[in-house]
């Protein structure tokens, strides 16, 4: 059963508000930087700073309107505004990570189609406060847009660059990048409605759809951890995702 229209509209308002906020913050930072450059160098940067400043003002006005719309939707549903900001930010995170996650998946396979499809719209990550390198990935789908599926994970960073005898090779040799070993730490939960939608979208069994969602969650989580660590993933060396039939 599709989510109520009022809920979908609230989430759409949240996605729009979050996008306005992200654009405003980036343009504001760029405007400040260009204005500073204009003071130190040529008029070109002063002109760019003025143009970005005008865009910043426009975005601030649009952000205020979008935030008011979000607040109104939250009030109608009896939700705290923060809950809608969370799902809006999750949509932005999904957009940022999707390309990197797709690079780690078989092109045209079910997990890749999950990331390119219509059912899944957002992702966020919650780290375990008590256990290092452990957390939960929240997967937001349109069937129940305010109730994400949860996928618990454990990450191990395998240090590279050590010689066989355990001695440091010195500064003359470049150390190999650390490798990320990522795996499930428990069962996925709260995924029934999303899996049912994916099974229809992918034209496969629910078991296969759940497996595809799990692999998509792994790819998104891996992309997030690598981005946070400033590591570029090598998809050719990624054996963690397993084989998935197209």
pLDDT of 129 above 50: yes
Local confidence band at 170 (pLDDT 50, 70, 90 cut-offs): very low
Positive or negative: CA dihedral 87, 88, 89, 91: positive
Q: What span, in angstroms and rounded, lies between the C-alpha atoms of 92 and 96?
A: 6
Pairing mode, strands 149-158 and 179-184:
antiparallel
Tell me how far apart the alpha carbons of residues 96 and 126 are, in angstroms, rounded to a whole number. Answer: 17
Mean pLDDT of 43-61: 92
Is a pLDDT exceeding 50 seen at residue 88? yes
Q: Which residues contact 53 (CB under 8 A, 6 or more apart)?
A: 31, 35
CA 38 to chain centroid, in Å, comes to: 35
| Per-domain residue ranges of the chain | 1-79, 93-246
CA distances 238 to 191, 215, 219, 220, 242, Å, are: 26, 12, 10, 13, 9
Token pair recorded at residue 172: 């003359």
pLDDT of 169: 41
pLDDT tens per residue across span 131-150: 889 999 999 999 999 999 99
Question: Left (φ > 0), alpha (ψ -120 to 50) or beta: where does 170 sit?
Answer: left
CB atoms within 10 A of CB 183: 10
**81 CA to centre of own chain:** 20
pLDDT of residue 231: 63
Q: Tell me the pLDDT of the chain averaged across its residues.
A: 88
Q: What is the pLDDT of residues 172-227, one digit of tens each?
A: 444 456 688 999 999 999 999 999 999 999 999 999 999 999 999 999 999 999 99
pLDDT value, residue 1: 67
pLDDT over 50 (residue 23): yes
Of the pLDDT bands very low, low, confident and very high (cuts 50, 70, 90), residue 233 is low
Q: Please give the share of the chain, as a percent, with pLDDT higher than 90.
A: 74
């Amino acid at each position: 059963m599709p989510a109520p229209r009022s809920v979908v509209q609230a989430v759409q308002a949240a996605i729009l508000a979050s996008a306005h906020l992200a654009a405003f913050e980036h343009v504001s930072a760029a405007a400040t930087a260009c204005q500073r450059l204009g003071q130190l160098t040529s008029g070109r940067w002063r002109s760019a700073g003025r143009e970005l400043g005008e865009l910043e003002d426009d975005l601030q006005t649009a952000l205020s309107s979008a935030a008011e719309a979000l607040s109104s939707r939250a009030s109608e549903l009896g939700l705290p505004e923060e809950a809608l900001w969370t799902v809006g930010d999750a949509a932005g995170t999904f957009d940022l990570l999707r390309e990197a996650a797709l690079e780690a998946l078989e092109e045209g396979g079910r997990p890749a189609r999950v990331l390119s499809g219509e059912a899944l719209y957002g992702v966020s990550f919650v780290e375990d406060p008590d256990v290092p390198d452990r957390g939960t990935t929240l997967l937001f789908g349109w069937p129940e847009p305010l109730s994400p599926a949860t996928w618990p994970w454990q990450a191990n960073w395998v240090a590279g660059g050590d010689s066989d005898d355990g001695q440091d090779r010195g500064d003359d040799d470049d150390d190999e990048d650390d490798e990320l070993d990522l795996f499930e730490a428990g069962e996925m939960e709260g995924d029934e409605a999303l899996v049912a939608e994916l099974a229809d979208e992918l034209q496969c069994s629910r078991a296969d759809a759940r497996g595809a969602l799990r692999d998509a969650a792994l790819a998104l989580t891996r992309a997030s951890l690598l981005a946070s660590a400033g590591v570029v993933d090598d998809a050719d060396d990624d054996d963690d995702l397993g084989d998935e039939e197209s």
